[in-house]
């Protein structure tokens, strides 16, 4: 016979685990109200487990008194349509704290740290929260000959501090770091540390640990459900098999100098979608991806579900064209949507001089090559296997943990 918890006592391990029992079932009921297949059930179980793991790192373990940049979205924590070129990390901070951010810049395309005025890890605050319009770039800092940097982050410059300093906004509650690499196999990711300078730190109280653990069930459901609702927002407001510039991500804290384009793909195996766009005159970075209807980016380690400006083939007329389909069309810029019946298409231009509007066209799969320029290269099955081998290697060489 199990013992009845003492009134007022903190929850036991069994209590905490029991609170998680219905998480996946509740999510499946909202995702597939007419019933889920076994494959869909296990897919949701896996997603819920991954977000539980992410929640431990970013919500239970994290502590503004002893901050650490913790792994956020990646191929294991696949939530919110992660950009495969980004390594995302987050740290919880106090707006009245004094912090040092330091480390080694590496050679990736860019590393930016965004101050967030709402807690991104609280679903109820994401939509409608007011982003803090402060994003700092490591390239604005002075590096020593070894590529080392150090910058203080605080509301006011500390007395006597003559080194690098970033202003900390009074509304900031969390930092989001994005490390962008396009040549995954060769670019070296930044190594970044954070420490609090004005507080020696104190152990988290048992009550606070219990509270954060107890939040996990509601938090997992809230985070995944938020993304499902976001996908349905795009479906309702952008339409199906269309592509429109979006302000939705901007309102939730997207990069201030990055334009997003979002749409919905819904095609069967006999169909394909062709994206076509001019390229900006100048652009620091651009990329395209496909995700499922929960806004989980299609497995980019084992499938070519994303293409960036380094990986892309540019046609002889200077345009970028990509084909979205489940079957391999034998062209360089294939975006593999896998077996998902429908989901998200997303593109972004980062720090561009202009922002061309991509178009999208649905065609019979068998007519794909006729719709592309005649000199579009042919990718053989053997070449695709080698392309995916290099992709798997490159994805695993990124420093995501």
> Residue 377 maps to which CATH number?
2.60.120.1600
pLDDT cut 90: percent of the chain above it: 88
Task: Tell me, yes or no, whether 161 lies in a domain.
Answer: yes
Task: Tell me, yes or no, whether 242 lies in a domain.
Answer: yes
Closest CA to 248 of 390, 346, 330: 346
Cα separation, 51 vs 70, whole angstroms: 13
Q: Is the domain of 120 the same as that of 257?
A: no
- Verdict on whether the full-model pTM lies above 0.85: yes
Cα separation, 296 vs 31, whole angstroms: 13
Block residue for tokens 């060769």: 186
Helix (H, G, I), strand (E, B) or coil at 220: helix
Q: Is the domain of 160 the same as that of 235?
A: no
Q: Which of 181, 216, 251 is the last residue of a domain?
A: 216
Q: Pull the structure tokens for residue 2.
A: 């199990």
Q: Is the domain of 166 the same as that of 249?
A: no
Could you list the beta-strand ranges (E) of 127-186: 135-137, 148-154, 164-167, 174-180
Q: Is the domain of 375 the same as that of 255?
A: yes
Q: Residue 15 pLDDT more than 50?
A: yes
Q: Is the domain of 205 the same as that of 263?
A: no
pLDDT band at 339; cut points 50, 70, 90:
very high
pLDDT tens-place string over residues 30-54: 999 999 999 999 999 999 999 999 9
pLDDT band at 132; cut points 50, 70, 90:
confident
Q: Is the domain of 243 the same as that of 339?
A: yes
Tally the domains of the chain.
2
Q: Residue 376 pLDDT more than 90?
A: yes
CB 181 within 8 Å of CB 108: yes
Q: Which of 185, 216, 247 is the last residue of a domain?
A: 216
pLDDT tens-place string over residues 154-208: 999 999 999 999 999 999 999 999 999 999 999 999 999 999 999 878 899 999 9
Residue 123 has a pLDDT of: 62
Q: Which of 216, 250, 279 is the last residue of a domain?
A: 216
Would you say how long the chain is, in residues? 401
The pLDDT of 114-128, averaged and rounded, is 71
Task: Tell me, yes or no, whether 235 lies in a domain.
Answer: yes
Residue 1 has a pLDDT of: 40
pLDDT tens-place string over residues 94-105: 999 999 999 999
Task: Tell me, yes or no, whether 244 lies in a domain.
Answer: yes
Q: Pull the structure tokens for residue 292.
A: 């499922």
Q: Is the domain of 95 the same as that of 242?
A: no
Task: Tell me, yes or no, whether 208 lies in a domain.
Answer: yes
- SS3 string, 224-275, reads HHHHHHHHHHHHHHHCECCEEEECHHHHCCCCCCEEEEEEEECCCCCEEEEE
Residue 251 has a pLDDT of: 67
Q: Is the domain of 66 the same as that of 193?
A: yes
Q: Pull the structure tokens for residue 22.
A: 């219905």
Q: Is the domain of 106 the same as that of 243?
A: no
Q: In what order do the strands lie in the sheet with 86-92?
A: 70-71, 86-92, 174-180, 110-116, 135-137
Residue 2 has a pLDDT of: 42
Quick one: how far is CA 72 from the chain centroid?
Answer: 8
Q: Residue 152 pLDDT more than 60?
A: yes
Task: Tell me, yes or no, whether 223 lies in a domain.
Answer: no
Residue 133 has a pLDDT of: 74
Q: Is the domain of 279 the same as that of 140?
A: no
Cα separation, 220 vs 79, whole angstroms: 11
Cα separation, 290 vs 240, whole angstroms: 14
Q: Is the domain of 163 the same as that of 191?
A: yes
User: Considering the chain, what is the average pLDDT of its residues?
Assistant: 93
- Strand 110-116 to strand 174-180: parallel, antiparallel, or no bridges (unpaired)? antiparallel
pLDDT band at 218; cut points 50, 70, 90:
very high
**CB within 8 Å of 126: residues ≥ 6 apart:** 118, 120, 226, 252
Q: Residue 5 pLDDT more than 60?
A: no
Task: Tell me, yes or no, whether 3 lies in a domain.
Answer: no
Beta bridge partners of 244: 262
Task: Tell me, yes or no, whether 237 lies in a domain.
Answer: yes
pLDDT tens-place string over residues 49-77: 999 999 999 999 999 999 999 999 999 99
Show the domain range for 142. 13-216
pLDDT tens-place string over residues 345-359: 999 999 999 999 999
Q: Residue 126 pLDDT more than 70?
A: no
The pLDDT of 229-235, averaged and rounded, is 95
pLDDT band at 242; cut points 50, 70, 90:
very high
């Amino acid at each position: 016979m199990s013992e009845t918890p003492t009134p007022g006592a903190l929850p036991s391990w069994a209590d905490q685990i029991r609170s998680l029992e219905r998480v996946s079932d509740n999510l499946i009921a909202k995702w597939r109200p007419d019933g889920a297949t076994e494959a869909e059930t296990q897919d949701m179980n896996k997603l819920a487990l991954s977000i539980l793991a992410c929640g431990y790192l970013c919500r239970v373990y994290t502590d503004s008194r002893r901050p650490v940049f913790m792994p956020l979205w990646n191929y294991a924590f696949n939530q919110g349509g992660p950009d495969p070129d980004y390594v995302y990390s987050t740290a919880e901070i106090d707006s009245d704290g004094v912090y040092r951010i330091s480390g080694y810049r590496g050679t990736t395309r860019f590393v930016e740290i965004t101050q967030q005025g709402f807690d991104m890890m609280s679903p109820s605050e994401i939509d409608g929260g007011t982003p803090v319009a402060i994003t700092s770039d490591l390239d604005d800092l002075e590096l020593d000959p070894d590529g080392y940097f150090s910058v203080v982050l605080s509301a006011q410059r500390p007395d006597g501090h003559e080194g690098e300093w970033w202003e900390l906004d009074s509304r900031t509650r969390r930092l989001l770091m994005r490390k962008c690499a396009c040549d995954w196999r060769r670019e070296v990711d930044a190594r970044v540390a954070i420490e609090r300078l004005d507080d020696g730190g104190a152990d988290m109280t048992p009550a606070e640990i219990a509270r954060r653990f107890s939040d996990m069930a509601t938090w997992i459901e809230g985070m995944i459900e938020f993304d499902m609702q976001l996908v349905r927002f795009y479906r309702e407001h952008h339409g199906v098999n269309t592509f429109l510039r979006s302000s939705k991500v901007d309102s939730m804290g997207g990069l201030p100098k990055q334009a997003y384009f979002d749409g919905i793909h819904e095609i069967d195996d006999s169909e394909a979608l062709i994206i076509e766009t001019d390229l900006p005159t100048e652009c620091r970075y651009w990329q395209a991806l496909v995700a499922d209807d929960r806004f989980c980016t299609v497995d980019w380690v084992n499938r070519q579900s994303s293409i960036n400006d380094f990986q892309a083939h540019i046609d002889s007329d200077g345009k970028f064209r990509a084909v979205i389909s489940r079957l391999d069309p034998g062209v360089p810029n294939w975006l593999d949507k896998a077996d998902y019946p429908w989901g998200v298409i997303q593109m972004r231009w980062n720090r561009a001089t202009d922002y061309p509007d991509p178009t999208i066209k649905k065609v019979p799969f068998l007519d794909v090559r006729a719709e592309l320029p005649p000199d579009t290269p042919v990718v053989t099955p053997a070449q695709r296997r080698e392309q995916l081998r290099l992709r798997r290697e490159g994805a695993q060489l990124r420093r995501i943990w």
